[in-house]
Amino acid sequence: MTSTARRAATPRLLRRLNANLVLDALRSAGPLRVTQLVARTRLSRPTVDAVADDLLRLGWLEQVGAAPGAGPRRGRPARLLAFRADAGYVVGVDIGEHTVRVAVADLLGRVVAERRHGLAAHRRGTGPPTVPHGSERLELVRRTAAATLADAGVGRDDVLAASVGCTGGMDAETGAVLFTSAFPGLADVNLRTELEGTLGDTVLVENECNLAVLGERWQGAAVGVEDAICVLAAERLGAGIVVGGTLVRGHAGLAGEMPFLGAYEFVHGAEGIAYLIRTLGTEAAAAGRLAGHEAAGLEAEAVVAAARAGDPVAIEIVERSVHAAGRAIVVMALVLNPELVVIGGGVAAAGDVVLEPLRRQLEAMVRMPPRLEASALGARGALVGAIRHALDHVEPALLAGLEEVA
């Protein structure tokens, strides 16, 4: 059967599938000659030539010069083809409670520029310290994004897609924040509308835990794992869930969001855990049980360091402090029976200390418990996932132009 006959059968679908095969080969292997592409894709040489012509015309490939060495003596010269990773860019944004992160990446997902803007807490009147929210926070996001794009030398119109992660429930269809207990000022705000002036015409909006699990599956601890949960113990505790390789968003996009679980006293994010460690540590130090530590001004980090050094009292304090988060992880493991649970967010940094007690808790409560690992991406998990999310959106769009060429 000739390639022409196959095209005739379902031309659009086949052209896309063939183009995808060629793009995938070039993205993963770097520049290749047509003969190498034929070998890798198992497409015929005329098909590869036709696909290459289409993709060159669309601007997704470039000819990086005739291949060195002897080309065939007849017919076309051996072209060396390369994926144009700089034919466009994507932007990932993570709007955290205390930090805004922005990264610009090329079409291979390589970060070209990245910025992080800490949001210092400040007191208003006699209340607790607050961090900026609402329009003030959005302005910081815009400024950080603009600065990162400038660092990368990338203009708004070169951004093929941006993905913005935020705590809370996001309406992925409209780009609106459904709710976010962390940033009351952002509730009902449409992040797409607010940010497309800076980030280009395609702004995706997604829950940060969902982005974190995409990040872990792409470059983190969950590579190759089909059933994984990424628990983001950052400001609060939430989970991104992948079942059978597919992100579980839930009926209204709220899967893994546990804003009310506080009422069950079993959910604390990193801040709750740090608070417990500091409080219990201060009590222990005051009672003279935490050797070498004063009660006054004791920080959670010092207790974690003591636990890491083997101090039994510090170890017990860490265990008690992570127990509540452990219960939430136990519940999720029972409901979903995942292969792997990744601990991401702020707690990941203390992974060596907190993982062991969490593991014991899982083993005591869950039959066939999942593996438990700390994120290798740490606080960057959602940002890396945002890049992956934007790339996932761009890749089918790359081929949309195929219908128009030839």
Q: Which residues of the chain form contacts with a copy of itself (CB under 8 A)?
A: 1, 5-6, 8-10, 169, 178-179, 226-227, 239, 241, 243-244, 246, 248-261, 263-264, 327, 331-332, 334-339, 365-368, 370
Cβ proximity to a copy of itself: between 324 and 402 the closer is 324
What minimum distance in Å lies between the beta carbon of 373 and a copy of itself? 15
- Its sign, for the CA torsion 28, 31, 32, 37, is positive
**210 contact partners, CB below 8 Å, separation of at least 6:** 165, 240, 247, 249, 256, 385
Give the C-alpha separation, 231 to 373, whole Å: 10
Give the C-alpha separation, 240 to 373, whole Å: 15
Token output for 164? 């913005």
What minimum distance in Å lies between the beta carbon of 63 and a copy of itself? 32
CA angle 402, 206, 227 (to 5 degrees): 90
Closest listed residue to residue 338, CA positions, set 202, 227, 237, 224: 227
What minimum distance in Å lies between the beta carbon of 96 and a copy of itself? 21
What minimum distance in Å lies between the beta carbon of 86 and a copy of itself? 36
Could you tell me whether strands 159-166 and 203-207 are parallel, antiparallel, or unpaired per DSSP bridges? parallel
Cβ proximity to a copy of itself: between 17 and 400 the closer is 17
- DSSP category for residue 179: E
Cβ proximity to a copy of itself: between 9 and 70 the closer is 9
What minimum distance in Å lies between the beta carbon of 354 and a copy of itself? 21
Cβ proximity to a copy of itself: between 118 and 264 the closer is 264
Which value, to the nearest 10 degrees, does the dihedral of the CA atoms of residues 333, 337, 343, 345 take? -80
Cβ proximity to a copy of itself: between 295 and 331 the closer is 331
Could you tell me whether strands 79-83 and 99-106 are parallel, antiparallel, or unpaired per DSSP bridges? unpaired
Cβ proximity to a copy of itself: between 8 and 287 the closer is 8
**2 contact partners, CB below 8 Å, separation of at least 6:** 44
Cβ proximity to a copy of itself: between 78 and 254 the closer is 254
Cβ proximity to a copy of itself: between 5 and 120 the closer is 5
- DSSP category for residue 339: S
Q: How many residues does the chain have?
A: 406
Q: Beta strands of 79-118 (E only): which ranges?
A: 79-83, 89-95, 99-106, 111-118
What minimum distance in Å lies between the beta carbon of 262 and a copy of itself? 10
What minimum distance in Å lies between the beta carbon of 9 and a copy of itself? 4
